């Protein structure tokens, strides 16, 4: 008998010791003379359990986590590799059948359907689990028909701005035939986000398939994945998957014998947050400083090397195979209002159950933090939640009824962004958070516009004066003024949105700035 064991290769699992755990299992099994087959899978997304070791028995996968190197012997002694299987094992790390864990069960995993099931870079596994069906369907359609399906699905860009993906593709489709490009924005710079990383490490073929379909739809023969350099593990997975896809004719000059060409390359960023902004990213890909370009022209008309370019976030492109396989309506059936489909939400920070939770739009912030996330890890009350990365607003508990929906967040002066949710407990100092927002903007500004470049530095200085007790009211008025100038005088959202975290901190947590606390009723408005 060979025992099948799954130990994730996801960076979060590795950072918590997955490689050491895998080595310990190998050693212990050898000693016990048990044959084991270790699969290094993607993560199931329940990151508080990582490294999550799964043992398969009669088709069910039983989980144990978080497993440390030192736990392995103990688990084996408890019978983990025994004839009777892992089912009845009583152990403090046993979590039962993994797919029955409420965090997992409550999800609607469309994009992440395969993530964690198998070896991420095995093309046979990808196909066995239903991969490349979307591409097969797309190959039977005319390009404009593919664009149409994506439009009807209601898919909006998952990188932050929420622009309809179908419209973007249509614009590039309509440009005359010439060298066109598909660029995948894998710069994922927002703190609190890791969904791009997880899908690239855990199911890289779904992104490759999505990009190939985009290429067919708009007539682009070349694609680039612009990957942040902080993600070396994702780079390795992508490159291995690209090689495998090439070898089997899924990439190259004759995709699946269709006569269509699609070549794909991974390019590394170099640690500049602003290069996540699409035009800055294109400059960087061209080998220049990542200065933001003025629009128009749109990248769809003049993008990479001046050619028509589709630039989409990882999750936007990775949603496409599902849509092409199951149809536009199947995707659009999920969600609320103008936010259709599912969103892979990332629960992070001071949270008991942090991880990746893919669900239809419409779930409330409170459900995410209190029910799914289980409240803070520290056990102290939640003070603030920042949604949407460093440019996102800080929401108080009073806003926990906000549904996860682009428009609902905007209506409360916030944004979904790339759907990162970072939870802070009552020890958070919101003036320090506001200061950090300015500081981050100052460090990462591309320097093109004055309000962003100078305003952010002035913001840091001014808040330091408030902290020092120097004419606090007058200086807070300066902060508000600066925010206004930045909001309306910046070319891109780095300068333009930094006021969100600053102003939300000031508005919802005035006591941290030395202003009188809000009355409870007002805070809960």
Ligand X SMILES: Cc1cc2nc3c(=O)[nH]c(=O)nc-3n(C[C@H](O)[C@H](O)[C@H](O)COP(=O)(O)O)c2cc1C
Give the DSSP H/E element, type plus range, for residue 36.
strand 35-39
- Cβ atoms of residues 41 and 116 within 8 Å: yes
Minimum CB distance to other proteins, residue 404 (Å) = 18
Residues 435-474, one symbol each (x = binds other proteins by CB under 8 A, - = not), give: -x---x---x------------------------------
E-state strands within 370-411: 382-387, 394-395
Stretch that binds ligand SF4, among 67-75, 129-137, 154-162, 485-493 (CB under 6 A): 485-493
Residues 115-144, one symbol each (x = binds ligand SF4 by CB under 6 A, - = not), give: ------------------------------
Does 351 participate in binding other proteins (rule CB under 8 A)?
Answer: yes
* Two structure tokens written together for 312: 């989409």
Q: Is the dihedral of CA 342, 116, 125, 222 positive or negative?
A: positive
Minimum CB distance to ligand X, residue 494 (Å) = 4
What is the CB neighbour count within 10 angstroms for residue 160? 24
Minimum CB distance to other proteins, residue 232 (Å) = 7
Residue from 39, 53, 452, 478 that binds ligand SF4 (CB under 6 A)? 452
3-state secondary structure 190-212: CCCCCHHHHHHHHCHHHHHHHHH
Does 490 participate in binding ligand SF4 (rule CB under 6 A)?
Answer: yes
Distance, in Å, from the CA atom of 169 to the CA atom of 311, rounded to the nearest integer, reads: 9
Give the DSSP H/E element, type plus range, for residue 237.
helix 232-247
Backbone angles phi, psi at 18, to 5 degrees: -60, -40
Does 290 participate in binding ligand SF4 (rule CB under 6 A)?
Answer: no
Minimum CB distance to ligand SF4, residue 181 (Å) = 22
Q: Which residues bind ligand X (CB under 6 A)?
A: 157-161, 163, 185, 187-189, 274, 276-278, 311-313, 316, 492-494
Distance, in Å, from the CA atom of 280 to the CA atom of 265, rounded to the nearest integer, reads: 19
Report cis status (omega within 30 of 0) of the bond before 66: yes
Burial class (CB in 10 A: 0-12, 13-18, 19+), 291: middle
Residue from 16, 492, 505, 506 that binds ligand SF4 (CB under 6 A)? 492
Does 425 participate in binding other proteins (rule CB under 8 A)?
Answer: yes
Which entry of ligand SF4, other proteins, ligand X, none binds 185, CB below 5 to 8 A by partner kind?
A: ligand X
Minimum CB distance to other proteins, residue 340 (Å) = 26
Residues at the contact surface with other proteins, assessed by CB under 8 A: 11-12, 14-16, 47-48, 50, 188-194, 196-197, 222, 229-232, 267-273, 284-290, 305, 346-351, 354-355, 377, 386, 389-390, 420, 422-425, 428, 433, 436, 440, 444
């Amino acid at each position: 008998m060979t025992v099948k064991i799954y130990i994730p290769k996801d960076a979060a699992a590795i950072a918590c010791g997955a490689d050491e755990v895998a080595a310990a299992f190998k050693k212990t099994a050898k000693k016990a003379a048990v044959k084991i087959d270790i699969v290094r899978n993607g993560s199931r997304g329940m990151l508080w359990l990582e490294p999550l070791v799964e043992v398969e028995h009669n088709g069910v996968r039983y989980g144990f986590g978080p497993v440390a190197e030192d736990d392995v012997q103990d688990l084996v002694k408890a019978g983990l590799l025994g004839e009777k299987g892992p089912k009845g094992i009583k152990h403090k790390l046993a979590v039962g059948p993994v797919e029955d864990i409420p965090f997992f069960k409550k999800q609607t995993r469309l994009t992440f359907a395969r993530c964690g099931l198998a070896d991420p870079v095995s093309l046979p596994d990808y196909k066995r689990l239903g991969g490349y069906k979307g591409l097969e369907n797309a190959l039977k359609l005319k390009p404009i028909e593919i664009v149409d399906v994506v439009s009807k699905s209601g898919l909006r860009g998952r990188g932050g701005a929420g622009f309809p993906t179908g419209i973007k593709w249509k614009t590039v489709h309509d440009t005359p035939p010439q060298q066109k490009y598909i660029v995948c924005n894998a710069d994922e710079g927002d703190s609190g986000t890791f969904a791009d990383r997880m899908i690239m490490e855990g199911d890289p073929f779904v992104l490759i398939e999505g990009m190939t379909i985009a290429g067919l739809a708009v007539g682009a023969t070349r694609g680039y994945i612009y990957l942040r350099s902080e993600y070396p593990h994702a780079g390795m997975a992508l490159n291995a998957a690209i090689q495998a896809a090439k070898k089997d004719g899924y990439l190259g000059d004759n995709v699946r014998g269709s006569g269509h060409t699609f070549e794909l390359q991974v390019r590394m960023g170099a640690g500049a947050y602003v290069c996540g902004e699409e035009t800055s990213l294109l400059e960087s890909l061209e080998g220049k400083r990542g200065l933001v370009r003025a629009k128009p022209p749109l990248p769809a008309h003049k993008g990479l090397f001046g050619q028509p370019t589709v630039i989409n976030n990882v999750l936007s492109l990775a949603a496409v195979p599902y849509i092409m396989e199951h149809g536009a309506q199947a995707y659009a059936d999920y969600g609320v209002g103008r936010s259709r489909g599912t969103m892979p939400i990332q629960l992070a920070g001071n949270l008991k159950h942090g991880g990746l939770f893919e669900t239809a739009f419409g779930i409330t912030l409170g459900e995410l933090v209190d029910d799914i996330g289980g409240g803070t890890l520290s056990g102290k009350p939640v003070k603030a939640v920042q949604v949407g990365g460093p440019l996102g607003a800080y929401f108080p508990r009073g806003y926990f009824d906000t549904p996860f929906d682009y428009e609902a967040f905007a209506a409360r002066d916030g944004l979904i962004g790339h759907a990162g949710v970072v939870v802070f407990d009552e020890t958070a100092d919101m003036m320090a958070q506001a200061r950090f927002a300015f500081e981050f903007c100052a460090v990462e500004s591309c320097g093109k516009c004055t309000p962003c470049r100078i305003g952010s530095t002035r913001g840091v200085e001014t808040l330091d004066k408030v902290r020092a007790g120097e004419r606090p009211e007058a200086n807070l008025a300066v902060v508000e003024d600066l925010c206004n100038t930045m909001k309306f005088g910046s070319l891109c959202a780095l300068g333009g949105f930094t006021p969100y975290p600053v102003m939300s901190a000031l508005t919802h947590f005035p006591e941290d700035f030395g202003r009188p606390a809000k009355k409870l009723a007002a805070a809960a408005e």
